[in-house]
Amino acid sequence: MIEPGATIGILGGGQLGRMIALAAATLGYRCHVFCPEPDSPAKLVTPYATTAAYDDRAALTRFAASVDVVTFEFENVPGDTAEILAGLKPVRPGPEALRIAQDRLKEKDFLRSIDVATAQYREVASAEVLRRAVRDIGPHGVLKTVRGGYDGKGQVTIRPDTDLAAAWRSMGAELGILESYVDFICEISVIVARGMNGHWATYVPVENHHAQHILDTTIAPARIAPEVAMRAEAIARHVADRLDLVGLLAVEMFVTATGEVLVNELAPRPHNSGHWTIDACATSQFEQLVRAICGLPLGSPERHSDAVMKNLIGRDVERWREALTEPGAKLHLYGKTTVAPGRKMGHVTRLLPRRS
């Protein structure tokens, strides 16, 4: 067990790292944040920080020497970085979970190999292969970069009248994945914490609404049938188990009109759709991560309230004062000084009486 007083290393300095550090501080841990940006949201809440590139071996070695366990707050950490650190200190979740989650093809192959349903998909390495893939899986799809895409970046919708050569060029990467278009009625996610002893804590499925491909609102719990919710939770636990994951796993899923649940994406880290747990649950996703990676017992994921979480994106943040006077609203700002379109600046969680 890594006891309170020890130091948790966090790769990545964004708002997720900031909220991990705040939860860790509540339990008496220190956090050391490693990221290339000097003035990042996570570095503003802890005095222990390294500003260096993710492939700076000497800096990574010094960082490892100063911490007791390493976790990460985004999955696009270079694979080698996680491997180097894993040779020096426990990295939780481990490099294998990262390797799968940062490559959409590996992710889908893995999900299929453990009998988890996904959209149909094909690897695409050229406009010609894209043409064949469209013939195979149908004319309505989504072409995505295999690596590095997030918040809808590197994604192109394919329709029967799409110019496939132009679509291939606009994706802008050497390797893509074509997925069949899922006509979903609802997008949900499930966050599960898994401890070193294989114990679970699963948060209720939540419903996610996007604007311009960026998460805009999360409604907790999701308005889905109880049996669909149970299946979604079981899928998330199954995936975490087969990854032998220690930490947090967020599983994004589509629910179709017939109640089918298809997994879209995995994130082995805290997730934007779990921010509501800070204010509405006995144990937040961030505290749960700290407990899991330090070998502490997991906390209860039970919610005392229902909640609606609204991201403050770009200039939305200028309305921060309104949230302060609204009963039941809780404001979270990430300390970012530069406002940019699409940039997540903070969020507001609105608590509601629990209905079920």
- Footprint of ligand AMP (CB under 6 A): 119, 142, 149, 152, 179, 181-182, 187, 210, 213, 252, 264-265
Which residue lies nearer to ligand AMP by CB, 112 or 210? 210
Which residue lies nearer to ligand AMP by CB, 56 or 216? 216
CB of 66 to ligand AMP, least distance (A): 34
Which residue lies nearer to ligand AMP by CB, 233 or 252? 252
Residues 270 and 24: their CA atoms lie apart, in Å, by: 13
CB of 156 to ligand AMP, least distance (A): 11
CB of 185 to ligand AMP, least distance (A): 12
Which residue lies nearer to ligand AMP by CB, 64 or 171? 171
CB of 77 to ligand AMP, least distance (A): 18
Which residue lies nearer to ligand AMP by CB, 119 or 133? 119
CB of 265 to ligand AMP, least distance (A): 5
CB of 11 to ligand AMP, least distance (A): 21
Per residue, the 3-state secondary structure of the chain, as one string, reads CCCCCCEEEEECCCHHHHHHHHHHHHCCCEEEEEECCCCCCHHHHCCEEEECCCCCHHHHHHHHHCCCEEEECCCCCCHHHHHHHHCCCCECCCHHHHHHHCCHHHHHHHHHHCCCCCCCEEEECCHHHHHHHHHHHCCCEEEEECCCCCCCCCEEEECCCCCHHHHHHHHCCCCEEEEECCCEEEEEEEEEEECCCCCEEECCCEEEEEECCEEEEEEECCCCCHHHHHHHHHHHHHHHHHCCCCEEEEEEEEEECCCCEEEEEEECCCCHHHCCHHHHECCCHHHHHHHHHHCCCCCCCCECEEEEEEEEEHHHHHHHHHHHHCCCEEEEECCCCCCCCCCEEEEEEEEEECCC
Which residue lies nearer to ligand AMP by CB, 215 or 345? 215
CB of 140 to ligand AMP, least distance (A): 9
Which residue lies nearer to ligand AMP by CB, 87 or 148? 148
